[in-house]
Every structure is written in C-alpha cells, then in structure tokens.
Amino acid sequence: MKKKIIGLCAILILASGCGKIPTLENGQEAIVSFENGEMISVDDFYTKIKDSYGLQTLITMVDKYVLEEEFADYIETAELQAESYIDTFIESYGGEDEFLADLQQQLGYQTIEAYQESLYISMMQSHAIEEYAKNQITDDEIEDYYNNDVIGDIEIAHILITPDVTDDSTDEETEAAEEAAREQIEDIISQLNEAKENGENIEEVFSKLAKEYSEDEDTKDDGGNLGEINYGDFDSEYDELIDAAVNLNDGEYSTEVITTELGYHVIYKIQSLEKDSLEDLEDEIRTTLGTEYINNNSDAGINALQHYRREYGMEIQDDEINKQYSTYIQNLLLQLQSEESNSTTE
C-alpha cells in the first residue's frame, strides 16, 4: 500500500510541474503559461476582470457574507427557495441539459449551480430589504394603522352571477352578457327588498336565493356563506366584498351591485367579530406597512443593502473598485429619480 501511495504522489507531482506555480520575473504568480515561456499573471487577470465583471462579483460576495451573518436563520429558507426555482425551471425545459443550454446562451451562466447561487443571493437580498423596511415603521404608525385600518373578521354570504362570455365573444356580446348578469343581481336585490317589506327572515331568503341563482359552486349549497373572512384571506378580488361589508350592519344586505373580477355580487353580512389585540397583530401590521414602505420608496432596496454593508464595516481597499462602487450607487439613485420623474409626468 505504501508503494502505491508513493507512486501516485510521484505521478501527481509530474503532472503539476513538481507542484510549483510558475512565476513571472517580477515574482507574480501566473494564471496561464505558454510553451514559449510567456505567462499571464494573476495580477494582470485581476486588473482586467475588475474593469468588466469585478464590481458585480464583489458586491455578490460582500452581500453573501454580510447577509448570511445578519440573517443566519433565513439561509435554509433561501436555499430551499432557490432550489425549488431550479427544479421548476428544469422541469419546464424538459431536462438539465436543455435548461443549461439556455442559461449559457441567454444569461451567460456556465453552470446551473452558478445560477442557483445567484437566485439564493437574490432571496437573501430581498429578505434583507423586507426586514430593513419593517424596521423603518414606528410604533405610532402601527397604532394608527390598527385604529383606522384593521377590522375584525366578518362572516358574510354572497351570490355571484358571472357574465356568459368566452374568448371568442365580440365586444358587443361581452357587453350584453355583462349587462344581463348585472340585471340578474339587481333582480335578486329586488326580491330581497320585497322579502324585507313582507317581514320575512332575510338570512333565510338570502340563503334560498343563493342556492337557486349563485354561480359560485363552492358556496351556493351553503347559502353563499364565505365564512369568517378578512383582508388578505383570499385573492384581492374579494376585497371589494369586504369593503362593502364594512359599511353594513349585521343582518343587512348590499343594495347596490358589487362588481369584481369574478363577476357581479350581492352580499349579506351575517356577523362582525372583534378584532384581535394590537399586541397580537403588531408583527402582521409591521409587515404590511413594511411592504407599503418598499412600494412607496423606490430607493428602499439600495438603502437597505447599503445599511447592512455599513453595519459590518465594509471598506473596499482597492481604490479603482471603490470608485466604481461609488459611481454604481450614484447611478442607481439617479436612475430611480429619473424613473420617478417620468412616472409623475405621465
């Protein structure tokens, strides 16, 4: 066994030029050598790439270190998210080879692993921006939002009529179908009005009408009952129903047609529930306001990542790269200002 190990080492030494890295006359290590003795030094290579890909590569390396230190508890989540994206891409492309070919051609990544790493860094950066934004929200803002915008869950029922249109419908056909659906909801409201005048139990009448007319197959057999809902529980198309319910007393129905992406509705407010305490909702409110902060401040992302880099005392020692970095940040901010100005004028 000992002889085999010695023999293997000898082969490796021969293959690697006795294990020594070639050096130029000035002592710099070579990264490439030629048979005529010419060489490209590590320093030459560094100088060349820092003028092209160097800054972006450095920023990625900096953020990877800083954000993994700051958000160590989020690393696994980001890794799993990046891996999930990759799996989805590979499946959609029909295999790794097909996906890699497109990566190399379209984005310049030479390996799937390199692209997955970039996705991972993006996940970490997005998380950092979200956490930074949440930290910009004050206690007064949270309390104000709780008092003025937070509501308790509302139990409501609805009747949905959807326009009978297809992708092939003409504009005239679509308009006619929408008008017919709206008129049907208006007719249902008229029936509710009549039942109310006759002193009938509106909840029972509404339930009966829902079973007869509603086109929401998931709720019609239960009298249109959507259960106890609140903002964010469903897709945004249901927000209009909650908006309308907020303005109703328990036991009342909407007297105006409610229009959503789903179609036309009438709702019945079954009951209102007390909202949770401020203490219980504080984290949720902070997240909501943090999202609004990001949407309302186009420089939030830049400021967030700059904040964490400063927190860890990042200093770029290479003068040229440091100059490039300053210019890069300034250009980003100027671009955002220009985009804001254009959107305002439009």
300-332 pLDDT per residue, tens? 999 999 999 999 999 988 888 889 899 999 998
The DSSP secondary structure of 25-53, one letter per residue, reads: TTSPBEEEE-TTS-EEEHHHHHHHHTTTT
Residue 297 has pLDDT above 90, yes or no: yes
Top-confidence residue, 339 or 266:
266
Structure token digits, residue 123: 């996940």
Among the ranges given (115-119, 269-273, 334-338), the one the predictor scored with the smallest mean pLDDT: 334-338
For the sheet with 258-260, list strands across it: 225-229, 154-161, 263-272, 258-260
Q: Residue 346: what pLDDT?
A: 61
pTM score, two decimals?
A: 0.73
pLDDT of residue 31: 74
Question: What is the distance between the alpha carbons of residues 186 and 194, in angstroms, rounded to a whole number?
Answer: 12
More confident residue, 287 or 168: 287
For 343, the 3-state DSSP assignment is: helix
What are the b/e assignments for 268-307, b being 16+ CB within 10 Å?
bbbebeeeeeeeebeeebbebbbeebbeeeeebbeebbee
pLDDT in the model for residue 307: 96
Task: Report the pLDDT value the prediction gives residue 8, as an integer from 0 to 100.
Answer: 37
Residue 75 has a pLDDT of 97
Q: Is the pLDDT of residue 54 over 90?
A: no
Residue 77 pLDDT:
97
CATH 3.10.50.40 domain residues, the chain: 153-272
Alpha carbons 92 and 97: distance in angstroms, whole number: 12
Between 182 and 15, the more confident residue is: 182
Residues 64-86 have a mean pLDDT of 97
CB atoms within 10 A of CB 54: 17
Stretch 136-153: mean pLDDT, rounded? Answer: 96
Tell me which range, 29-33, 51-55, 109-113, is most confidently predicted by mean pLDDT. Answer: 109-113
CATH code at 153-272? 3.10.50.40
Has residue 2 got a pLDDT over 60? no
Q: Up-side HSE of residue 122: CA atoms within 13 Å toward CB?
A: 10
Number of helices (H), then strands (E), in the chain: 13, 6
Q: Strands (DSSP E) along the chain, which ranges?
A: 30-33, 39-41, 154-161, 225-229, 258-260, 263-272
